[in-house]
Structure 1
Amino acid sequence: MASQVVIVGGGVIGSAVAYFLRASDPNVQVTVIERDPTYARSSSALSAASIRQQFSTPLSVRMSLYGIDFLRTIGERLEVNGERPSIDLHEGGYLFLATSRGEATLRENHSMQRDLGADITLLDAAGLRTRFPWLNTDDLAAGAFGESGEGWFDGYGLVQALRRKAASLGARYVAAEVVGMEHEGRRVTRVRASNGEAYACDVVVSAAGAWSRSIASMLGIDIPVHARRRSIFNVSSPAKLDGCPLLIDPTGVYFRPEGRTYICGTSPAADNDPDDLPLDEVDHALFDDVIWPTLAHRVPQFEALRVEHAWSGYYEYNVLDQNAIIGAHPDIDNCIFGSGFSGHGLQHGPATGRGIGELVLHGRYTTLDLSPLGWARVIEERPIVEKNVV
């Protein structure tokens, strides 16, 4: 069993792993190396911070079912010195919309989600008009709405709560950048950092998010996880949208309430989505050309809106199949990866932290089997097809 674990990256995945390790076995020494303790450029802090059960693969649904249970009980789970954190979880639901072209897939996904215990209601066009009278349903055939277990929360608050709890349990956080890995044969022995220190390890966990390729390359591993910029826009509008959920248009454009305003976004076209675009820039053309026209079509009241604020963050985008890569690479026995979540790292962070903790402590999964997300399907180029990519 590992006695020294070094975690590269202290965002939601790395801090969740640190928390579960120390909570499960206080004899394990855990060191988390995080290059930016302010999390100013962290995907965990810059995302739209939401959780859904509406995936098309059963494993993703199960991970989110555990995730919502964790978020609902975060106060008692992550209490430190009598202080219970709050992440302002709002279970406002997701609303996935479908035209006639996508209706069969929506119904198929809904059946599977319900079978697993997700609280999702399927609505036809008439049902959508009744439930959401502000919605333009002229081109819609159906929608799937999360009655509970879906919504949004304070992602930065979740990361801070996990970090604080992990530290209170004895995890050590080091503000530095990993600059190298020392290994003998098939095992990493030490992790070198920019502070001049080298940290001995029995196991190293790579939770480096959008920077995962750099860490993997230190071990001669090519991981198909790229830093893809996503811009988020905060808009104000006189629109009064009672019961507004997080809405996913058939085009992929999304929006949700944010206090008295709304946040919205979408992914750029595949042929206009290069790696490593600067985070201090925002894709305003995407808003003008795609997002705003789509919003105005779907919600006529959004004809009048104004951008109040905008920012960009990175997706740690798995170019193979937009699903996470969790587990050890077959060439290195003691390096466990937790990377490539492609936009759902916050909601799957608790299940991933628990699962990687089990791998470290027991050499196998003891609760939810995450092995389908391992390296085998990456090496063999067998993508997991997720139909609800957002």
Structure 2
Amino acid sequence: MAVRQFETSATRNSYDVVIVGGAIYGSAVAWFLTDNPDFDGTILVIERDPTYANCATAHTNSCIRQQFSNPLNVKISQFGAAFIKGFKAYMGNDARVPDLSIQSFGYMYLADTDAFAGQLRTAQKVQLDAGAATQLMTPDQIRAAYPFYNVDDIVLGSINLIDEGYWDGGTVFDWWRRSARERGVEYIAGEVVSMRVVGPRVHSVTLANGDVISCGKVVNATGPRGAKTARLAGIEIPIEPRKRFTWIFTAEQPLVGALPLTIDPSGVHFRQDGPKTYLAGGHAHPDLAADFNDFTMDHSLWQDKIWPTIATRIPQFEAIKVVTEWTGHYDYNTLDQNAILGPHTEVENFFFVNGFSGHGLQQSPAMGRGTAELLTYGEYRTLDLAPFGYDRIAAGRPFAESAII
């Protein structure tokens, strides 16, 4: 199915909803608005780079988990899993849309201290109460199920093999964008450079080409650039781009059986990627804010930290070969690594979908649906996502989540 190119100017000078940013979150909000029978307004999506070459969505590792410490985050991922597995039905059983699934090799959290093991036990209770299937494993149980691990230093493991693993986020993004456009959502290539705020509302946005577009509501869906976009409306949010590195590698001695997405106590993570390939990820220390355009690799990080960690945890990975690598950005919320969602407390028609800190892709179905509800009804109708509201940012009150990768 051919997708027409983005125009550089809008067809109207006023829209009910203007979404700044057209990657996974801009497209999720746009699509869920079109899917809501009670919304009949006009929607404009403004995307600064319609190639999406450097957006966070393009660099994601595309995984989903229910192992969070906050029950609301667990429920958000459960809806995400249901949406992925029922994707074709959610898309109206369009014959062009593929059936999707989750490769549920699970997330394996490894604790090497009693304190960390205590966190896993506490989180498991939350997850079980929310209907997840998380299992705790002793070192001997881990050795029996996954004999390739070295767990001599491990106190406890935690894994869930139901709806945790890899999914095809690129296809969901592609179809949200395509379907939204077919339903009348307008996408243009452009960059918002200023906003005119009159009293408690954004009256209009101005593009780099000089076009001025009036708006009923504005949605900030600009990922790692979220704080920069918010400043155009005179708003500060604690979001910054943080570099995250990914490597795909092969092993001279491939493992027998699938490798769960393993979160090593060091913070390095690695998982099965394909039948004969594996993926590893991590970040530098200290973990500092990056320039928006800085996507350079840190080759010393692989040599000095990532590979030694992998080879220690899985001795069969002593001999491995990197086949590709890339750098992406988290839209990192420095307050609590959780999303900022909903309207500003003073600029009442400025809405956030920002700060997902690495778990944005898996949360996009629930967060896109919830934002569309808020824009349509002024309230959440399914999951109550109010704890992610801006009021906690203004108060400096973290919304706690300990399971951050």
Structure 1 position 100, deviation (Å) = 3.2
- How far, CA to CA, are the matches of 2:289 and 2:216 in structure 1? 36
Of 239, 253, 256, the match for 1:225: 239
1:37 pairs with one of 26, 44, 50: 50
Correspondence 1:283 to 2:307 = no
Q: Does 1:59 align with 2:60?
A: no
Q: Distance in 2 between matches of 1:88 and 1:309?
A: 25
On the 8 A contact 2:150/2:315 being kept in 1, the answer is yes
1:35–1:3 distance in 2 versus 1, CA, 3 Å: closer
Give the aligned length.
388
Structure 1 residue 22 corresponds to structure 2 residue 2: no
SS for the counterpart of 1:312 is: strand
More displaced, 219-228 or 157-166? 157-166
Q: CA deviation at 1:124?
A: 1.1
Tell me the SS of whatever aligns to 2:358. Answer: coil
Gaps of 5+ in 1: none
AA partner of residue 262 (structure 1): Y
Question: Is 2:188 aligned against 1:169?
Answer: no
Shift of 1:222: 0.9
Greater displacement, 78-87 / 359-368: 78-87
Q: CA deviation at 1:95?
A: 1.0
- Pair 1:109–1:153, CA change in 2 (3 A): same
SS in 2 for 1:202: strand
Cα separation, 1, equivalents of 2:206 and 2:293: 27
Which TM-score applies when normalising by structure 2?
0.92
Query: 2:295 touches 2:328 (CA, 8 Å); kept in 1?
Result: no
User: Is this contact kept in 1: 2:15–2:44, CA < 8 A?
Assistant: no
Q: Which residue of 2 aligns with 1:329?
A: 344
1:220 Cα deviation from its structure 2 partner: 0.9
Post-superposition shift, 1:324? 0.6
In 2, Cα distance between equivalents of 1:4 and 1:185: 18
Q: Tell me whether 1:353 sits opposite 2:365 in the alignment.
A: no
Instruction: Provide the rounded CA distance (Å) in 2 between the counterparts of 1:199 and 1:72.
Output: 38
2:240/2:289 contact within 8 Å kept: no
Query: TM-score, normalised on structure 1?
Result: 0.95
**Kept in 2: contact 1:327–1:337 (CA 8 A):** yes
What corresponds to 1:13 in structure 2?
25
1:114 aligns with 2:124: no
* Residue number in structure 2 paired with 1:264: 280
Q: Could you tell me which residue of structure 2 aligns to residue 249 of structure 1?
A: 264
Following the alignment from structure 2 to structure 1, what is the Cα–Cα distance between the partners of residues 358 and 235? 23
Compute the displacement of 1:379 (Å): 1.2
**DSSP 3-state at the match of 1:138:** coil
Decide whether aligned partners of structure 1 residues 65 and 272 sit closer, same or farther in structure 2, where only a CA change above 3 A counts. closer
Q: Offset of 1:198 from its aligned partner?
A: 2.2
Partner of residue 4, structure 2:
none
Structure 1 counterpart SS, 2:30: helix
Instruction: Indicate the SS of the match to 2:210.
Output: coil
Q: Distance in 2 between matches of 1:241 and 1:382?
A: 46
Gaps spanning 5+ residues in structure 2: where?
Answer: 1-13
Q: Is the 8 A contact 2:20 2:220 kept in 1?
A: yes
After TM superposition, list the pairs within 5 Å mapping 1:183-262 onto structure 2: 183-238=197-252, 239-259=254-274, 260-262=276-278
Deviation at 1:243, TM superposition (A): 2.6
| 2:229 match: secondary structure | helix
1:90 corresponds to? 103
- CA 1:312–1:251: 2 relative to 1, 3 Å: same
Do the aligned partners of 2:259 and 2:272 also contact (CA within 8 Å) in 1?
Answer: yes
1:80, distance to aligned residue in structure 2 (A): 7.8
d(CA) in 2 for partners of 1:371, 1:35: 29
Per the alignment, residue 315 of structure 1 pairs with: 330
Q: Percent of aligned positions with the same letter in both sequences?
A: 41
- 1:154 and 2:168 matched: yes
Q: Is the 8 A contact 2:91 2:97 kept in 1?
A: yes
Q: Note the alpha carbon deviations across 1:158-216, whole angstroms, 9 max, x for none.
A: 21111112112221111111111122111112122234322221111101101111111
Inter-partner Cα distance in structure 2 for 1:277 and 1:234: 24
Q: CA deviation at 1:344?
A: 0.6
One-letter code of the match for 1:265?
G
**Do the aligned partners of 1:279 and 1:314 also contact (CA within 8 Å) in 2?**
no
Q: Which residue of 1 aligns with 2:319?
A: 304
Asked if structure 2 preserves the Cα contact closer than 8 Å seen for 1:80 and 1:165, the reply is no
In structure 2, how many angstroms separate the alpha carbons of the residues matched to 1:87 and 1:318?
30
- Partner deviation per Cα, 1:77-104 (whole Å, 9 max, x = no partner): 2358521135563222111111233111
CA contact (8 A) 2:80 2:362 kept: yes
**Equivalent-residue separation in structure 2 for 1:299 and 1:11 (angstroms):** 36
